[in-house]
Chains A and B, each alone.
Chain A
């Protein structure tokens, strides 16, 4: 077998959850855009922390605390290296949403005012829309949205037109969680920087699946979550350029983010701790470090190759089902491993119920992207999203399940 290709059946052995049965059937997990399953190595790293050296970090002088601090900061090193950033530029949050809110509040609130523009796209997740709506309310800055075409790609002319309004900040998703569209963030960041805008990339759907290099993209901020990248729930990451982070006010106040506190005021801690108020989710951060190790051991480019192959197979086999409408582009270079679809007029919730019975975990709903649903003219879609442990046999099971749904609904 070509060493370049992944064998999902071997990968699956690292994930204890695949031993379980769902209604007596094997688990076919196709909801990776929502959260991913955890390899033994991640679960083990967290168990070790709680069992062997559970202690609070940074302030303790005793052995356990030193070990915990080392493991915590070591995870930061791993994450920094993973996206080619400096350690001081990696801030741990509770999730990608909090990371985006951090930028919206700490940067947006202090730098935006009436007459300013914020530039987003129509394909954003609510987490990259709602924080800006809140900031827009406080600052009276106006939000513009780059529209998408029928294929689910950003319209280049619209990018140019809206950049002419000289937005102060441009915040865009790297990969759409609904359409799978991979946006050319590097190009948009370059354009935005030419007009002096600050740039934010929502990389929640890209970092787990493809090589993401913040130096290469050139963005000012980039956010992602750990749990979509085989890591535990409860930890997200914000990358930010050092000079910008230094100029910003803290997002949350509390312990750990200060260097000195008086009754009247406080001095902020150094980066990145200035933005990490209170006790962090230490075990989760350590677990994320283990997830990064795991991804590195497999190789992120191999994962991407595997996903392209699987997405190609899925697009081909799904398109053979009549009355099935797939959203997004067919160009595999511009598409992540996410396939949203509708089958005739069967409501996605009904589809998901029928597929559930076959052990297939598939998402149905608006995927936290209601403006995009409106644009597509649907209330909801069904969505299959793949990862390294998915195989062609999972796609085959999906197709079979959809054919069962056709029979039940007498199509």
Chain B
């Protein structure tokens, strides 16, 4: 049943978003939105000298799933290396959210992946890789877990 997604953990991450806010001198600043529902996220990442995530924050408005996802994602990625951000997969995020097996419909999976899309676009542009429209499309549409 898909309403099982709204269990305490998700609601807690939604109501009390971790790492909410912005970082003035962030190396990565990216804004992504889901035109379907008007959800909107800004993601900020600041690295230390060894290219580890020193700070990561997000802000924006969205549904419980997208906000909880962003909230949890920032928590997972704090302290991680740049390479870890590159290898971080949809599967990693969906598993952490515990929604892989819930049979959530593709529209709502897209909500969960909005922060992921922002992350990938931000990180790729940081290392000088520009994503084509097609690659961006794959980021939010293909809900199956796959290696990026």
Contact = CB atoms under 8 A, between A and B. Distances in A.
Interface of A: 23, 346-350, 353-354, 356-357, 364-366, 370, 373, 379-380, 404, 408-410
Contacts of A408: 3, 6
Contacts, number: 55
B37 A356 contact: no
B26 interface: no
B108 interface: yes
Contact of A410 (B11, B39, B65): B11
A349 B6 contact: no
Given A379-B61, A409-B11, A410-B11, A350 B6 contact: yes
A349 B3 contact: no
B17 interface: no
B89 to A, nearest CB: 24
A349 B1 contact: no
A347 B62 contact: yes
A408 B8 CA distance: 9
Nearest to A370: B38
Interface residues of B, number: 21
Interface in B19-42: 36-40
A365 B63 contact: no
A410 B7 CA distance: 11
A364 B40 CA distance: 16
Nearest to B5: A353
Nearest to A379: B38
B63 A349 contact: yes
A404 B1 CA distance: 14
B145 interface: no
Contacts of B108: 349, 353
A366 B37 contact: yes
Nearest to B111: A349
Contacts of B36: 365
Nearest to A23: B1
B2 A353 contact: yes
A350 B65 contact: yes
A402 to B, nearest CB: 13
Contact of A409 (B6, B38, B105): B6
A347 B39 CA distance: 10
A366 B61 CA distance: 14
A378 to B, nearest CB: 8
B2 A356 contact: yes
A366 B38 CA distance: 7
